[in-house]
């Protein structure tokens, strides 16, 4: 699907043509910019024109995370796309404009990727602290306590999907009712034909959240309705999208914001994201003895090369780090 570019992008492409760039280069720039524009509209769940001055660093980070984790682009391709966005931002800056300025704060991935840093996964004690806080009202205002019962199980279920099943942010956000099989304790991930078998307690979390949604705005069984529904704090109920005639899907930005708030409420360090939780699942699963081939099938990677960084991380971890990752009270 192609979206109309803002006029400044057409100006930029014309500028490149005037500079003598090859037609193939211009087509490549157009493809990359259209791809980013499509992702942005999908992420914000809108078909309306977007003001590119409103694009945030967080959104750009999610876009590159999508390229790495979901699409599994190679590093050189991702670096090229980063360069295209950065050059466009600098073109606008030359006119005193601020479109895409946050791209300057984001570094492209290194060609040679080293092991994960310890800050990129959670110790089991941190995990325990987060999960304990999720079901409590610690740190909530009186106003937040009033609406918390509506979405408490929704939030915990999403975080469980990252931490205990290794799903990506994209996979969780895109879940629809046709993917949920309450009677079988299953989630179907249709993009790569995977089946996730839920623990009974986690199925109950999902079902309790589902039944908490008022029936008039509740997702319909076996439909394309989104399972992860946005909450309207002003009206104190779940959002309904009149444009799509279905519950409003919670955006990836909103899910990340929710996780940041829960991390803060649990008094954990900044920087813990959905990817941090997924990293934790992958590393702990490898340390507990699952083979790389089995794990590749479990988390949906299409090539063993995608697993290399995690294998390198496990090999480079100290005994103390392994204990912190796996053992409570360490």
Q: Where are the domains of the chain?
A: 7-105, 119-326
The model's confidence at residue 305, banded by pLDDT at 50, 70 and 90, is low
pLDDT tens, residue by residue, 247-272: 999 998 899 999 999 999 999 999 99
- How much is the pTM? 0.84
- The predicted pLDDT at position 140 comes to 94
Look at domain 119-326 and name its CATH class: mainly alpha
> What percentage of the chain has pLDDT greater than the value 90?
76
Q: What is the 3-state secondary structure (H, E, C) of the chain?
A: CCCCCCHHHHHHHHHHHHCCCCHHHHHHHHHHHHHHHHHHHHHHCCCCCCCHHHCCHHHHHHHHHHHHHHCCCCHHHHHHHHHHHHHHHHHHHCCCCCCCHHHHHCCCCCCCCCCCCHHHCCCHHHHHHHHHHHCCCCCCCHHHHHHHHHHHHHHHHHHHHHHHHCCCHHHHHCCEHHHEEHHHCEEEECCCCEEEECCHHHHHHHHHHHHHCCHHHCCCCCCCCECCECEECCCCEECEECCCCEECECCHHHHHHHHHHHHHHCCCCCCCCHHHHHHHHHHHHHHCCCCHHHHHHHHCCCCHHHHHHHHHHHHHCCHHHHHHHHCCCC
pLDDT tens, residue by residue, 99-108: 999 999 998 8
pLDDT tens, residue by residue, 136-191: 999 999 999 999 999 999 999 999 999 999 999 989 999 999 999 999 999 999 88
The model's confidence at residue 65, banded by pLDDT at 50, 70 and 90, is confident
pLDDT tens, residue by residue, 117-148: 999 999 999 999 999 999 999 999 999 999 99
In the predicted structure, residue 80 carries a pLDDT above the cut 90:
yes
Q: 7-105 domain in CATH 1.10.150?
A: yes
In the predicted structure, residue 87 carries a pLDDT above the cut 70:
yes
């Amino acid at each position: 699907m192609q979206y109309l570019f803002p006029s400044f992008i057409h100006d930029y492409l014309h500028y490149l043509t005037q500079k003598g760039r090859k037609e193939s280069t211009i087509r490549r720039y157009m493809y990359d910019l259209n791809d980013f524009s499509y992702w942005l509209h999908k992420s914000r769940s809108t078909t309306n024109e977007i003001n590119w001055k409103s694009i945030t660093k967080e959104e750009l980070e999610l876009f590159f995370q999508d390229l790495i984790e979901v699409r599994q682009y190679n590093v050189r391709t991702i670096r090229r796309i980063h360069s295209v966005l950065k050059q466009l931002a600098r073109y606008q800056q030359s006119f005193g404009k601020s479109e895409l300025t946050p791209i300057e704060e984001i570094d492209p991935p290194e060609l040679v990727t080293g092991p994960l840093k310890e800050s990129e996964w959670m110790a089991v004690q941190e995990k325990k602290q987060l999960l304990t806080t999720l079901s409590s009202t610690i740190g909530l205002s009186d106003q937040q306590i009033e609406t918390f019962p509506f979405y408490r199980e929704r939030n915990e279920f999403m975080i469980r999907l990252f931490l205990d099943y290794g799903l990506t942010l994209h996979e969780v956000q895109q879940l629809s009712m046709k993917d949920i099989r309450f009677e079988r304790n299953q989630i179907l991930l249709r993009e790569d034909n995977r089946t996730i078998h839920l623990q009974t307690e986690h199925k109950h979390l999902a079902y309790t959240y589902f039944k908490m949604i008022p029936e008039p705005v509740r997702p319909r069984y076996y439909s394309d309705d989104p399972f992860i529904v946005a909450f309207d704090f002003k009206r104190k109920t779940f959002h309904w999208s009149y444009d799509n005639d279905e519950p409003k899907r919670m955006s990836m930005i909103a899910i990340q914001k929710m996780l940041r708030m829960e991390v803060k409420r649990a008094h954990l360090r900044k920087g813990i994201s959905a990817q941090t939780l997924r990293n934790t699942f992958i590393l702990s699963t490898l340390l507990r003895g699952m083979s790389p081939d089995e794990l590749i099938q479990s988390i949906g990677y299409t090539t063993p090369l995608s697993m290399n960084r995690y294998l390198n991380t496990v090999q480079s971890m100290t005994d103390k780090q392994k204990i912190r990752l796996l053992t409570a009270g360490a």
